Structure 1
Amino acid sequence: MSSITRPTAPCHVPAGTDEEIVLGVDPHKDVHAAAVISVLGVALHGRTFPTTNEGYSRLVAWARSFGTLRRAGVECTGSYGAALTRHLRAEGIWLAALPLPATARSAVADRLEVIDALQVVIDRLDAALARAAKEDPRVKALTALPGIGPLAALIILAEVGDIRRFPSARKLASWAGLTPTVRGSDRTVRYGHISKQGDPWLRWIMNQAAQTAKRTPPYASCFEQIAHRRGRKIATIAIARKLLTHAYHVLRELDAAQPSKEPCTTA
């Protein structure tokens, strides 16, 4: 399977916070079919991984990109699922065996056949994305930032469009819904949660990138300081906003180096 994670829809993707998720795995000889769900039972994403140590590590990292992973269910922890079970236990993840009845196993097998049939189309689209990323110098510049890979860079470019629409980084962050709401009177100003208004895809991809950036200098120290005062959830959002600010300046510098264009209407 491809190494590019494909989201289902913005409303089914977590907001890049530390919300708890649950991992379910159907083990097979050559690949393991994994699914991530919320604690409320909402399906967030599904994907397959090779049955190798690297594949197990990628599976866990992929699941953790959706939130805090403490629990996992593996169908038949013996046989094909034994090695994965040992890996998950070493990661400190609580496990539960999931014996499936024949009807459920048949339904899973049918869905795996559909996934296999779609793989040709998926590979073709992945190749098209890889070509687009390679040909665009903006992608190369954005991927220099921690947490932003080729797919994330392409999503940012697709959602932002012409960077000159935004006169400042704060305008872009506000458009992405990453700025806090403000309530105030003549003497006091109170900042609330982020507005979550604007573009959901841009907000989602920046929060996903922040999951990696918050563990990487120079963002790690900033994350720890904010997390100590306000909590890890708010700190992660702050890193997403900071990362988008840096992405804005990268794109503005590249745009300034290009030949002059017609003026663009601001957002």
Structure 2
Amino acid sequence: MSGMTQSTRPRHHSADPSEDVLLGVDTHKDVHVAAVITATGAMLDTRSFPTTREGYRQLLAWARAFGSLRRAGVECTGSYGAALTRYLQSENIAVTEANQPDKATRRRRGKTDAIDAASAAQAVLSGRATATAKTTDGPVETIRMFKMAKSSAVKSRSQAINQLKAVLVSADTALRESMTGLSNPKLIRRSLRDHPGSCGTSHAAAACQADPASHRRDQRPHHPDHSGDPGLCTEAAGPLRRRPGYRGCAADSGRRQSGAHGQCRRRLNPDPVWAVEL
């Protein structure tokens, strides 16, 4: 993709270097569409930028050319907008997570990337968007990635053992009876040991059992619970441990809470909503 930026609509308002402006960004995989509005909500301009380091630099320089930029509303700060969010925060821009406009607003105003970008900025200006964007780095992000890998491995393991047991339902009676009542580890070892090389329905059933059993066995050493590392969890859960009345929680609950606040203490709501997780 070319590194050239592209204007998506004409300017609606003249620029004033001393004026406070707000940035809104509609994020995508390859191109971000940005809009700049004044403190009174007037549209200044919209433009698209590539999702590269140079594109982020151009986006910020373009937005700052309209005035004093201190706040930005960005959609999808945990996915497509994560890298841009980190860049803006490193440049001392307060990034607020902006949700996509609701269906009623889209019906009234239409649906384009430029309109969505302007809506993100207006949501910050009006106070509808107040959630501080997560930093998506540091120990909390490390825990999230390890937890995602573990969850995927556990799901694959469950699918393999369920497939193994499903084969037994319609397998030959002798084969089914020989494996009835076995625990999962014993069933896996038995399926691997009895895997034959000849043909036939019963042999095919045994072969089908051996395939998920081998996957189940191979998956076990590949998903250690890295997210349970004491030092990593202690560092990530620091803000939670300092909350009044905190009495500790299970490891998985602590990881979920750390992922929710994303190293931003301002995201910790004092209301008793955390009781759901504890």
Structure with greater Cα Rg: 2
TM-score by length of 2: 0.36
TM-score by length of 1: 0.37
